[in-house]
Amino acid sequence: MIAAEHFNITKVKYSKLTDINLENLPFGKYFTDHMLEVDYEDGEWKKAEIKPYQPLVIDPSLAAIHYGQSIFEGIKAYKNASGEAFIFRPLDNFKRFNISAERMQMPQVPEAIFMAGMKLLIELDKDWIPQQEDHALYIRPFMFSSDHMIGVRPSDKYKFMIILSPTGPYYSAPMRIYVEEQYVRAVPGGVGYAKAAGNYGAAMYATAEAKKKGYDQVLWTDAFEHKYVQECGTMNVFFIIGNKAITPGLETGTILAGVTRDSVITVLKEMGLEVEEKRLSIDEIIEAYKLGQLHEVFGTGTAATISPIKELKYRDYVMEFDVDSWKTAPEVKSRLNDIRYGKVPDSHGWMEKI
Ligand code: COI
């Protein structure tokens, strides 16, 4: 069994950090000096390495490329004003990673590799954590099948890796959203609840079509009736209706159990709002809008944090929102940021010290 002391660490001779300005960063463009790589073979994890960030050499028959056994996570690390580094709720992402692994018939990654490895890696590249508001070190753990074999079957070999990217906001402006009724992201019994790479690839066509029409993202609806809202782009979605916050429930297995989603639910309740997780129809949303009861709509995700939606288009009907007058989403965001950047005590035990 691999533990922290078994990682073979090779450090870079020169850090790339001298060439990069950690302010006003785009999302996911730069990567830190080191990466983590562990191989699974013969039923066990072996050869755990942290080494300079470098390309992988792959065989054209690599199983992951052909059949898509590939999963990932998104986590963020922050620095407080005294320069101490913390990871936001990594254990929750670790658990979700193994739920995704199970659904994709991939091996479980032990906590000793995922958590201890992640901490070791971040410790090495700690200077890369930006301190600017809305910036963080984005942590990308991922696993893919690494057999060289084009027969369709679960692979015998897998690679688990973590790379790190100092990063700014994912969506920089409020979004215009197209309610999608033709294409679907997930179906009950499918892999919608897993963070499978293919979910993101499969979403690209519909998203590109929405972009051609002038929208930033789609609001996915259910596969059978195209009536119940699901996720928004790569995010979970919240609607503030009256004095209630409503978000689609997880029971159909078509929605990713977002760690940010869960944190937002907690914070909304602390702010005194009633939170309902339920099947929410587009008709209910339109009705609330017409009655002047639909106050705010926003997406939540690790990369996106809280992203306001300024327009929702359903068929010929357009719902517009005056994002600048909103109270709830900005307060949720600032309460979460206060916890993340260590400005208030972490009463939920969400921040894991490195
Ligand atoms: C995240 O929010 O971390 C995501 O996975 C979204 C995305 C960048 C794919």
In this predicted structure, the answer to whether residue 247 has a pLDDT above a threshold of 80 is yes
Q: Tokens at residue 39, please?
A: 């191989």
Confidence of residue 194 (pLDDT cuts 50, 70, 90): very high
Query: How far away, in angstroms, is 196 Cα from ligand 1 center?
Result: 11
Q: How does pLDDT run across 279-335, given as a tens digit for each residue?
A: 999 999 999 999 999 999 999 999 889 999 999 999 999 999 999 999 999 999 999
Of all atoms in ligand 1, which is nearest to the CA of residue 260? 2
Query: How far away, in angstroms, is 148 Cα from ligand 1 center?
Result: 28
The residue to mutate among 87, 163, 170, having the most atoms of ligand 1 within 8 angstroms of its beta carbon, is: 170
In the predicted model, what is the mean pLDDT of residues 56-73? 97
Of all atoms in ligand 1, which is nearest to the CA of residue 75? 3
Q: How does pLDDT run across 21-54, given as a tens digit for each residue?
A: 998 889 999 999 999 999 999 999 998 999 999 9
Q: Rounded mean pLDDT of the chain? A: 96
Query: How far away, in angstroms, is 302 Cα from ligand 1 center?
Result: 6
Residue 324 has what pLDDT? 96
The residue to mutate among 142, 298, 302, having the most atoms of ligand 1 within 8 angstroms of its beta carbon, is: 302
In this predicted structure, the answer to whether residue 172 has a pLDDT above a threshold of 80 is no
Of all atoms in ligand 1, which is nearest to the CA of residue 138? 3
- Side-chain-side CA neighbours of 172 within 13 Å: the count stands at 7
Residue 4 has what pLDDT? 67
Query: How far away, in angstroms, is 188 Cα from ligand 1 center?
Result: 22
In this predicted structure, the answer to whether residue 169 has a pLDDT above a threshold of 90 is no
Query: How far away, in angstroms, is 5 Cα from ligand 1 center?
Result: 30
Residues 6+ apart with CB under 8 A from 232: 177, 217, 218, 219, 220, 299, 309
Residue 37 has what pLDDT? 98
In this predicted structure, the answer to whether residue 2 has a pLDDT above a threshold of 80 is no
Distances (CA, A) of 7 to 43, 85, 155: 19, 21, 24
In this predicted structure, the answer to whether residue 1 has a pLDDT above a threshold of 80 is no
Query: How far away, in angstroms, is 42 Cα from ligand 1 center?
Result: 31
Q: Which residue is associated with the tokens 């590109």? A: 208
Comparing 141-145, 237-241, 300-304, the range with the smallest average pLDDT is 300-304
In the predicted model, what is the mean pLDDT of residues 105-118? 97
Q: Which residues line ligand 1 (CB under 6 A)?
A: 74, 200, 234, 301-304
Parallel, antiparallel or unpaired: strands 236-241 and 294-301? antiparallel
Of all atoms in ligand 1, which is nearest to the CA of residue 170? 8
In this predicted structure, the answer to whether residue 204 has a pLDDT above a threshold of 90 is yes
Confidence of residue 133 (pLDDT cuts 50, 70, 90): confident
Q: Tokens at residue 281, please?
A: 């129809």
Residue 159 has what pLDDT? 98
Percentage of the chain modeled with pLDDT above 90 = 93
Residue 3 has what pLDDT? 67
3-state secondary structure 121-173: HHHHCHHHCCCCCCCEEEEEEEEEECCECCCCCCCCCEEEEEEEEEECCCCCC
pTM of this structure? 0.96
Query: How far away, in angstroms, is 342 Cα from ligand 1 center?
Result: 23
Q: Which residue is associated with the tokens 């979910």? A: 199
Residue with CA closest to ligand 1 atom 5: 74
Query: How far away, in angstroms, is 54 Cα from ligand 1 center?
Result: 22
In this predicted structure, the answer to whether residue 182 has a pLDDT above a threshold of 90 is yes
In this predicted structure, the answer to whether residue 77 has a pLDDT above a threshold of 70 is yes
Of all atoms in ligand 1, which is nearest to the CA of residue 302? 2
Q: What single-letter DSSP state applies at residue 323? A: G
Collapse the DSSP code of 81 into the 3-class scheme (helix H, G, I; strand E, B; otherwise coil) and give the result: coil
Residue 190 has what pLDDT? 98
Domains of the chain listed by start with CATH number: 4-168 (3.30.470.10), 175-340 (3.20.10.10)
What's the rounded Cα separation, in Å, for the pair 101 and 107? 6
Residue 195 has what pLDDT? 98
What's the rounded Cα separation, in Å, for the pair 322 and 342? 31
Percentage of the chain modeled with pLDDT above 70 = 99
Of all atoms in ligand 1, which is nearest to the CA of residue 304? 2
Query: How far away, in angstroms, is 290 Cα from ligand 1 center?
Result: 32
The residue to mutate among 234, 256, 298, having the most atoms of ligand 1 within 8 angstroms of its beta carbon, is: 234
